[in-house]
Chain A
């Protein structure tokens, strides 16, 4: 059932009214002096502060450090995860051999291996990238296996019926048929990738949003703390939205419920 389309204005209004109301209430309470300014600086004050951090280049450089760390780490993990997952989904021996390893890794908190990495590789970028890459690798691989195993057998049969084999079968049938499910994996991977990136930066890094937040806590700079956390949230939302847009672009054949 498809209800009549809601206007974009109404959609945005529904999404924004509650956060706006909370911010407004906060601003009023702060202006009245009812909130401790040390713990809860007024939103307007935070916005000015954030703007200064943008102007002096501190925020942009933290953002770009976090972004590139997340993307570089995730890209390695996603590529490896896709190949491994597809191979596991299609070839039963590969799946049976790798499954125990994958589920073992899946239940290991990736952050917990960082101290070990610090021993192996020393304090450096490698120790930070490996947990990020591992996180997205596992999520993508697990979802890709599921994706392939959930392909409607009718399509595989149809492809065999046409005599499709090998690379053509993989490229024209297995990969596109598993893409919707794979995208779920990508969204999870980047979501968790951001979490682990920030965690890694909190644990020890000279740059990035995590380090900014940690330094702010060390110096009790509440404003910077707020700006750091809000930037992380914003980054997550932007990544999610970008992925959503690319999904619509890359999978035009998907039937979308509701308004197109």
Chain B
């Protein structure tokens, strides 16, 4: 899993997208260009409604850009070219058990049931889902559901993982737990991830690099490398370095924080 040679990269060149909404043209993205690196955790952060989800769906190939192009670089043969998208909700099939949901990517590739189970159990238990593998989604809390979705995305072993605010709907304690579980899983099993969020803490905690997207129409206003030592944990969020990165991103977002927020 996650061999550097087969990691997929995405190159986004001058992508612009607009929509027809209530009779008028709404520009969602304007001239977005960037390139991801192999096995990089790249986060796109921006205010709500800035076109983050649109950008991610474009990267996933679900939306065609009006202008510009998205290109897949690296090993684009076989399974390595697959891109998996994890969404905020509806990332699980209600009629499949936790185990079946988590291993659906393997099932599609024809992996036999016993093997799927063998591969899934360690990852499920890392996400605190041991003993829940036969439950159905309606028996799980929102946090548990997102754990299954994230576990499923790692088990699917795609060349690229796209995550669209997977933790946005969670309460802040559950969110913190899931961020740490994701952090641990990714640090042990590095792979190419493009993560979208409006949560600045989350962006810094998880990423190798942060792209800041402006308000509508979304365009990249700055690129901030996060040279924060790994392994990271919730403790990292209390370091002065972390806070200065946070201040910088807040400034880039044009929401200059009050003194209280910076020192809190």
Distance (whole angstroms) from the CB of B82 to the closest CB of chain A:
6
Find chain B residues with CB under 8 A from A164 CB: 104, 108
Distance (whole angstroms) from the CB of A225 to the closest CB of chain B:
46
Complex Cα distance A128/B70, Å? 62
Find chain B residues with CB under 8 A from A177 CB: 93, 95
Contact bitstring B81-93, A, C-beta under 8 A = 1, else 0 = 0101101011101
Find chain A residues with CB under 8 A from B82 CB: 163
Verify if A14 is at the interface (C-beta below 8 Å from B): no
Distance (whole angstroms) from the CB of A176 to the closest CB of chain B:
4
Verify if A97 is at the interface (C-beta below 8 Å from B): no
Complex Cα distance A253/B137, Å? 8
Find chain A residues with CB under 8 A from B240 CB: none
> Are A252's CB and B90's CB within 8 A?
no
Find chain A residues with CB under 8 A from B91 CB: 158
Main SS at interface, chain B: loop
Distance (whole angstroms) from the CB of B133 to the closest CB of chain A:
14
Verify if A172 is at the interface (C-beta below 8 Å from B): yes
Contact bitstring B128-147, A, C-beta under 8 A = 1, else 0 = 00000000111000000000
Q: Using a Cβ–Cβ cut-off of 8 Å, how many residues does chain B contribute to the interface with A? A: 22
Q: With A161-B85, A253-B138 in contact, do A155 and B93 touch (Cβ < 8 Å)?
A: yes
Q: With A155-B90, A168-B107, A168-B108 in contact, do A161 and B138 touch (Cβ < 8 Å)?
A: no
Spell out B's residues near A (CB within 8 Å).
Answer: 60, 62, 82, 84-85, 87, 89-91, 93-96, 104-105, 107-109, 136-138, 156
12 more contacts with CB within 8 A, not counting A161-B85, A162-B84, A168-B108, are A154-B87, A155-B90, A158-B87, A158-B91, A163-B82, A163-B109, A168-B107, A172-B104, A179-B95, A253-B136, A253-B138, A254-B138
21 A–B contacts from the bound complex (CB under 8 Å): A157-B62, A158-B90, A158-B91, A159-B93, A159-B104, A161-B84, A161-B85, A162-B108, A162-B156, A163-B105, A164-B104, A172-B104, A172-B107, A173-B93, A176-B96, A251-B95, A252-B136, A253-B95, A253-B138, A254-B94, A254-B138
Spell out A's residues near B (CB within 8 Å).
Answer: 152, 154-155, 157-159, 161-164, 168, 172-173, 176-177, 179, 251-255
